[in-house]
Structure 1
Amino acid sequence: MPRHNMMSSLIQKIARQAHVTFKSAGSSVFLENQGLLDSLLTEIRAADLKIAPRKRKSSSKCLDSSPPVSYMHICETDTFSMGVFLLKSGASIPLHDHPGMNGMLKVLYGKVSIRCFDKLDEPPDAEVQTHFEPPLLPCQRDALRRSVLGTVSVFTEESGPCILTPHKDNLHQIDALDGPAAFLDILAPPYDPDDGRDCHYYQVLQPASEPVDKKPEEMWLLEIPQPADFWCGGEPYPGPEVSL
C-alpha cells in the first residue's frame, strides 16, 4: 500500500475511533474504547499529517510578531474536536482548564513539558486569603482556587498520548522545550461556552506564609484573564481529509 494511503487511513481511523470512544463516555466500554484510541494515537507522526518540524529561528533576527502558538483545525462534531497545536521554541500554552471535558494530546515533533493540577472541592477559607502578599483584592478572592499539583511529565513523538479527564489533570500548562513542538489534540466534548464549557486561565500563587495544616502538594490558583503575552493564530491543515 502506498505510504500516502496509510497516512490517510491512520488519521481517519483516529477520528472514527474518537467518535466511538467519546460517544461511549460513562459506559462500561469507555475504557476499552479509549485504549484502542490510545493505541492509534501512539502510532501517529508529523509526516502522517504532512506537517514538517519547524526550524528554530535565530535570536539575532528582528522581533517576530507572529503568534507564539498556532492551531490547525482538522474536524469537529458534537462529540469531539481534533486539531494540531504548533508551538514556537520556548512558547507556552498557559495554565488553563477543560471544564467537564476529556482530552488526549499526542506530540508529533519536538518535546513538551505538561504540568497538571486538580481542583479541590473545598473553597479556601477567609483566613487563607490573608496569607498572600500583596493581599488579594476583594474581587480576586472569589477567583481563588484550592488545588493539588498532579503530574509533571515530558513528552516527545516517541511517547504515548497524555490523557486528561474532567476530574484528573484537567488544569494544565504546556511548554515547548529545546525548540519548536507540535501535538495532535482531541477534546471531548468540544468547548461550548453556552453549555458551560469555556476556557479559564490560572496563575499559581505563592503565599507569603502557609497555614500550618496545609499539605505540601496543595497549591493556590487564581483565575485570571487570558495572559496578554499569549495568543493563538490559525494555519491551514495540510494533511489527509477526515470525514465522519
Structure 2
Amino acid sequence: MGMEKKGGERKKRRLRQKKVTAVQKLYDACRDVFADCGPAVVPAADGIERLKQILNGMTELDVGVRPNMPYFKVKETGGFPKITYLHLSECDKFSIGIFLLPPSGVLPLHNHPQMTVFSKLLFGTMHIKAYDWVNDVVSSSTPNGTSSEIEAETISVRLAKLKVDANFTAPCNTSILYPTDGGNMHCFTAITSCAVLDVLGPPYCDPEGRHCQYYRSHPFANFSADDKQLPDGDNIKDYAWLEEIDKPAGLSVIGAMYNGPKIVEK
C-alpha cells in the first residue's frame, strides 16, 4: 500500500509539472494562428475564435498582476499619469504585452495599421472610444465658420465613424479590432486602476511603416462635407474628423519587467 501511495503521489506531481499555464496556451495559440498571416492579413475565423476563447478565460492571476501594484499609484499633479507596459513576447508575427493604467490614465486616440488586435481587460473599469475610417467622403481642410478675410490654418482631416463609446468593467469579453473594421483607432481612459492584456498581429514596426499614429478628433460640423455621402439613417453625431498629430506631450509609457508565469518560446 505504501509503495502504491508513493507512486500515485509521484504521478500527480508529474501531472502538475506538465500542466500548461494559460499564458503559455496564449503564446502557443498566437504562434499557430498568426503563422501564415502578415500585414493586413486577418487570421482565419477558427483561429480568431481560438484566441478569443483563451483570452476570455484569462484573469490577472494568470499573468501575475494585481490592482495594488505600485504602478497604479498616481504621483503626478497634472498631465497624463504614467502608464506601464509589461512585455511578454514579440516576434515578426505577433506581440503580447500588458498595459497597466492608473486611475485617469489615458492611452490617447491612436491607430493599429494593418493589424488585428485582441484586448482583454483583466481588471478595472475603462472607457473605450474607437473609430474606423470612412472612405470616399470629400472634405475641405479649412474649419467651417472661418472669415475669408482671415488666413485660416489649414488642417488635414479624414472622416471616421464612431464604432465604440462605452465603459467596460472586468470581467468582460475580449474586444477585437481589424485592419479596417472593429474600431482600428481607439482611445483608452482608465476610470479605476486597469490592466489590459494586448495581442497584436503583426506588431508595430517603423521600418515596415507600421508606426503608432496619434489623432485629435473634431466634430463633424467643424468641416465641410456632403451629408448625402453618409449612409442613409446615420446620425452625424456618429462621425468625426480625425487630424493626425504628434505624440501628445506628457504621454509616458514606461517598460517594466514582467514577473508572471514564464513563456517558453518555441
Q: TM-score range by the shorter chain?
A: 0.7 to 0.9
Q: Partner amino acid for 2:263?
A: V
Residues 124 and 62 from structure 1, CA distance in 2 versus in 1: closer, same or farther, beyond 3 angstroms?
closer
**Unpaired segments ≥5 residues, structure 2:** 1-11, 231-235
Residues 132 and 24 from structure 1, CA distance in 2 versus in 1: closer, same or farther, beyond 3 angstroms?
farther
Residues 226 and 136 from structure 1, CA distance in 2 versus in 1: closer, same or farther, beyond 3 angstroms?
farther
Superposed CA offset, 1:150-203 (max 9, x none): 1223333311111010011100001111x2101101111010111110110000
Please list, as runs of the form range in 1=range in 2, the aligned pairs for 1:56-205 lying within 5 A after superposition.
57=73, 63=77, 68-122=82-136, 124-126=138-140, 129-131=142-144, 137-138=153-154, 140-141=155-156, 144-168=157-181, 169-177=183-191, 179-205=192-218
Name the residue aligned to 1:225. Answer: 246
- Do residues 42 (structure 1) and 56 (structure 2) align? yes
In the TM superposition, residue 73 of structure 1 has moved relative to its aligned partner by 0.3
Name the residue aligned to 1:14. Answer: 26
Bigger radius of gyration, 1 or 2?
2
TM-score by length of 1: 0.84
The answer to whether the 8 A contact 1:7-1:49 is kept is no
Name the residue aligned to 1:33. Answer: 47
In the TM superposition, residue 133 of structure 1 has moved relative to its aligned partner by 5.8
**SS of match in other structure, 2:124:** strand
- Do residues 213 (structure 1) and 209 (structure 2) align? no
What is the CA–CA distance in structure 1 between the aligned matches of 2:131 and 2:95, rounded to whole Å? 23
Q: Partner amino acid for 1:186?
A: V
Residues 63 and 218 from structure 1, CA distance in 2 versus in 1: closer, same or farther, beyond 3 angstroms?
closer
Superposed CA offset, 1:110-148 (max 9, x none): 11121110112235333x63416698623x32xx11111
Residues 57 and 77 from structure 1, CA distance in 2 versus in 1: closer, same or farther, beyond 3 angstroms?
closer
Q: Partner amino acid for 1:195?
A: E
Name the residue aligned to 2:255. Answer: 234
**SS of match in other structure, 1:23:** coil
Over the matched positions of the two proteins, sequence identity in percent amounts to: 28
Q: Partner amino acid for 2:32?
A: V
The answer to whether the 8 A contact 2:80-2:106 is kept is no
Q: Partner amino acid for 2:180?
A: H
What is the CA–CA distance in structure 2 between the aligned matches of 1:171 and 1:220, rounded to whole Å? 12
Superposed CA offset, 1:34-84 (max 9, x none): 1011110011111111111137658xx774899521100000011100010
The answer to whether the 8 A contact 2:88-2:97 is kept is yes
Residues 83 and 241 from structure 1, CA distance in 2 versus in 1: closer, same or farther, beyond 3 angstroms?
same
Structure with more strand by fraction: 1
What is the CA–CA distance in structure 1 between the aligned matches of 2:67 and 2:26, rounded to whole Å? 21
What is the CA–CA distance in structure 2 between the aligned matches of 1:231 and 1:62, rounded to whole Å? 11
Point out which structure has higher relative CO (alpha carbons under 8 A, 6+ apart): 1
TM-score by length of 2: 0.78
In the TM superposition, residue 230 of structure 1 has moved relative to its aligned partner by 1.4
